[in-house]
Copies of this chain bind each other. A is one copy, B any other.
Amino acid sequence: MKHRPTIRDVARKAGLSLSTVSLVINNRGHVSPGTRESVQKVVRELSYHPTRSARGLASKTSGNIGFILSEEHFSQAEPFYTRIFLGTEFEAREHNYYILLTTVGNQFDPEVYVPRFLLERNVDGIIIAGKVNEKLISHIDSLGLPIVLVDFEIKRAHHSAVLIDNWRGATLAVEHLLALGHKKIAFVGGDIRHPSITDRYEAYHNTLHMAGVFLEESYEVTDEEETSVEGGTSAAERLFASGAKPTAIFAANDAMAIGCIRHLKSRGLRIPEDVAIVGFDDIEISSHIEPHITTIRVLKEEMGKIAVQRVVDSINAKTKIVVTTHVPVELIVRESTVALAHVED
């Protein structure tokens, strides 16, 4: 293991100064083509590569992007945010960044705990996926780091965000059910403070009203703790216990849809004949479960990619512009929905 060449070695061998070599390597400044060439030649000959730490120390950049996820989302290894994360990994490489992942609890107190990469000045920008404590966001903001939110937004503060077109997705879902003749369409949701869930719920409501359908409150379950499979099971149970007789259910996400299916099956109800179900997210399992779930496809990897592009843009930009991107959604019709057999109004 002999000594790795340093920029010094390159400069010496090329008969130039350190700064000129640095300029060439970083593709900056006005260097004459000839000089550039000869530096590149020496770089190749010595197979020189700059050391990240040294660059970092001198330039106060790390070459890393921090990815922050709530503990719950991570420990559940939830397929939704995992996909977004993998999307960022993919795109980061294109921009010569690495992603540093960390999780945070619901509480945030800078006195108690701050993500290590923030303390160590080890990231140049931050991507936050899903709902996190707003104090954390403003803390990062005060550090002067570019922030991009994914599947989350804050009304008051202005931050770049990559969002799902939840309104359109939910509208598509409900219109699909309406078109199949359903009227008694229940909504099943939870974690209603999450902007995505709120939007889905409101669009559901709005679409029904626009179609002249007005249902009792018992057709809406919005207060589940978690938008998980268990939450879905529990919500479906309460739905029927409340006396509602839906012919279709729009679930806030696929996990809850799966929970609903589980409960309905246990009740002896057939899907979609007795109750049709539409989910949201199009997580992988949805196309494997029985019946395959009709859902709204969300381009999760794509969201991660866009987030990286935004944060890289912000890092390179001098002025901080806020960009909000709504990623399109698509209705995927599978087996869990079918036309209403007989109108039973």
Residues of A at under 8 Å CB distance from B? 1, 4, 49-57, 60, 62-64, 74, 77, 79, 82-83, 86, 89-90, 93, 96, 98-103, 116-117, 119-122, 142-144, 258, 284-285, 288-290, 301
Contact = CB atoms under 8 A, between A and B. Distances in A.
A32 B226 CA distance: 51
Contact of A57 (B53, B64, B96): B53
Nearest to A92: B101
B116 A96 contact: yes
26 contacts: A1-B142, A1-B143, A1-B144, A4-B121, A49-B119, A51-B57, A51-B121, A52-B117, A52-B122, A53-B53, A53-B54, A53-B56, A53-B122, A57-B57, A63-B120, A63-B122, A74-B86, A74-B90, A77-B83, A82-B86, A96-B116, A284-B284, A285-B285, A288-B289, A289-B290, A290-B290
B96 A99 contact: no
Given A56-B53, A120-B49, A86 B93 contact: no
B89 A93 contact: no
A122 B50 CA distance: 10
A63 B54 CA distance: 14
A205 B240 CA distance: 52
Q: Which of A62, A77, A82, A290 has the most CB of B within 10 A?
A: A77
Instruction: Tell me the number of copies of this protein.
Output: 2
Contact of A56 (B49, B52, B93, B144): B52
A121 B119 CA distance: 22
Contacts of A144: 1
A8 to B, nearest CB: 14
Contacts of A98: 64, 100-101, 117, 122
Nearest to A118: B49
Q: Report the 8 A-B pairs with minimum CB-CB distance, sorted nearest first.
A: A53-B56, A290-B290, A49-B119, A52-B120, A53-B57, A52-B122, A98-B100, A288-B289
Contacts of A289: 288-290
A86 B96 contact: no
A334 to B, nearest CB: 13
Q: Which of A54, A96, A102 has the most CB of B within 10 A?
A: A54
Contacts of A57: 51, 53-54, 56-57
